[in-house]
Structure 1
Amino acid sequence: MYHLYYYPLNASMAPHFILEELKADFELITVDRKSNAQKSQDYLALNPSGRIPTLIDNGQPIFESAAICIHLSETNPSSNLIPEIGSPDRALFFQWMMYLTNTVQAELMVYFYPQKHTTDERGVKNITQAQEIRITEMLKLLDNELEGKDYLVGGSISACDFFLFMLSVWSDEFKRPPLSFKNLARYLRKLALRDSVVSVCKKEGLSLTDYE
């Protein structure tokens, strides 16, 4: 059985999607961010970064959301959530997964926690505004990539799609949210119909009404 240390709508959401998609045997363990439980001694013993999520697989703790998604996909090859070795789509899978986590997610973290990126509190508002502009440009890039495509990589769903859905949820209050882009909107609304996405959103308290 897998154990996923999570918090609703946090970076644990993508691994949660994948566990549901796999129909895996897993247990959700809530890490209460409101009480800073991710910084507790017990949690730090599993994940020294003090961040969410952490996956326990056969006693082995694994942290970093993208790493967990890749691990789950690799160790469940019949799911086809990652292209097989030798497939030309495999390099594209890693390209997009790295773009999503190292670029889009990283910039979203600056957007949500601008105070951590300045020593002058007067500049926080400017950082947030600049980040929204930067991330909107990234959404445009992804929208262009999805022209005429149902999935980000290849002809079937991959871990990248679940990761992008998570990041899109985080961006839904932008002046130009993901659902305002033609291709992204079509893509996200299709993903929102999947049983795994519906199940996770129900468990994590996210309404999918906007995706109908």
Structure 2
Amino acid sequence: MYTLFYYPRNASLAPHFVLEALKVPYQLELVDRKKQAHKSAQYLTLNPTGRIPTLVDEEFVLFESGAICLYLAEKHPESQLIPSEPEKKGEFYQWLMYFTTTVQAELMIYSYPERHTQSALMYDDIVKTQQSRLVSMFEIINRHLAGKHYVVNDQFTVCDCYLFMLCIWADELNKPPLQFEHLANYLRSLAKHPVIKKVCEAELTDLSPYK
């Protein structure tokens, strides 16, 4: 059985979606960030980065949300959470890398400006800069999603798990994802998916804005 060390609305959300989509046995282990449990000696033996999530598969331990998602999807190819056709698979990796290495990274700067300057006077400037950068990124995603129900190949994949997580994180931007026409339609449709609904209910994540 898989064990996912998680905290609600954290980077564990995408792997949680993937686990649910696979319909395999798994259990959740809460890492209480409010009590700094992710920095405890016990947790650091599993994940030396002190970040969430961590996946335990018997004696195999893996961290980094994107890596966990890909590991699970590749271990269960029957789930079709990664396209099999070469060009669609390439497109899948393109968007997943964009989400993980670009959008997620910029969202982290926006959310934690104090980690990127030694001057508190710079916090507001960093946040404003990131707002502008993120709007440009969501505009790219919005154009791609015109007339689409899923990111790639008209099928639910890891990319959808990841993008939905990022859009939840971005809901407090001055121009949040729901203010982009095609992205908003995509999110409202995806919010009805049984996997998204079940996991968000389990993590007490409100989906009412997507109705």
Same fold (TM over 0.5): yes
In the alignment, the residues of structure 2 paired with residue 28 and residue 37 of structure 1 have an alpha-carbon distance, to the nearest angstrom, of: 15
Letter in 2 for 1:201: C
Pair 1:182-2:175 in alignment: no
Q: Secondary structure at the match of 2:8?
A: coil
Q: Secondary structure at the match of 1:172?
A: helix
Query: C-alpha root-mean-square deviation of aligned residues, in Å?
Result: 0.9
- Residue 81 of structure 1 corresponds to 81
- Residue 2 of structure 1 corresponds to 2
In the alignment, the residues of structure 1 paired with residue 45 and residue 172 of structure 2 have an alpha-carbon distance, to the nearest angstrom, of: 35
Kindly provide the CA deviation profile for residues 29-76 of structure 1, in whole angstroms up to 9, marking residues without a partner as x. Answer: 000101111111111111111100000112211100000111111111
Letter in 2 for 1:211: Y
* C-alpha displacement of 1:120: 1.1
- Equivalent residues of 2:12, 2:65 under 8 A apart: yes
Letter in 2 for 1:6: Y
- Residue 45 of structure 2 corresponds to 45
User: How many residues matched?
Assistant: 211
* C-alpha displacement of 1:87: 2.1
Letter in 1 for 2:9: L
In the alignment, the residues of structure 1 paired with residue 57 and residue 202 of structure 2 have an alpha-carbon distance, to the nearest angstrom, of: 22
Q: Secondary structure at the match of 1:171?
A: helix
* C-alpha displacement of 1:23: 1.4
Q: Secondary structure at the match of 2:18?
A: helix
* C-alpha displacement of 1:136: 1.1
- Residue 210 of structure 1 corresponds to 209
In the alignment, the residues of structure 2 paired with residue 208 and residue 39 of structure 1 have an alpha-carbon distance, to the nearest angstrom, of: 30
Q: Secondary structure at the match of 2:38?
A: helix
- Residue 143 of structure 2 corresponds to 144
In the alignment, the residues of structure 1 paired with residue 57 and residue 10 of structure 2 have an alpha-carbon distance, to the nearest angstrom, of: 20
| Greater mean deviation of Cα atoms: 202-211 or 4-13 | 202-211
Which aligned segments of 4 or more residues in structure 1 are displaced greater than 3 angstroms?
A: none
| Uncovered stretches (5+) of structure 1, i.e. residues with no partner | none
- Residue 101 of structure 1 corresponds to 100
In the alignment, the residues of structure 1 paired with residue 106 and residue 27 of structure 2 have an alpha-carbon distance, to the nearest angstrom, of: 30
1:1-212 correspondence runs (5 A):
1-84=1-84, 87-212=86-211
In the alignment, the residues of structure 2 paired with residue 129 and residue 19 of structure 1 have an alpha-carbon distance, to the nearest angstrom, of: 35
Kindly provide the CA deviation profile for residues 171-212 of structure 1, in whole angstroms up to 9, marking residues without a partner as x. Answer: 111111111111101111111001111111111111111111
Letter in 2 for 1:13: L
Letter in 2 for 1:148: G
Letter in 2 for 1:188: L
Kindly provide the CA deviation profile for residues 111-157 of structure 1, in whole angstroms up to 9, marking residues without a partner as x. Answer: 01100100111001110111011111100000001112211111211
Alignment TM-score, normalising by the size of structure 2: 0.98
| Uncovered stretches (5+) of structure 2, i.e. residues with no partner | none
- Equivalent residues of 2:110, 2:131 under 8 A apart: yes
In the alignment, the residues of structure 2 paired with residue 165 and residue 173 of structure 1 have an alpha-carbon distance, to the nearest angstrom, of: 14
Letter in 1 for 2:32: D
Alignment TM-score, normalising by the size of structure 1: 0.97
Letter in 1 for 2:154: G
Q: Secondary structure at the match of 1:150?
A: coil
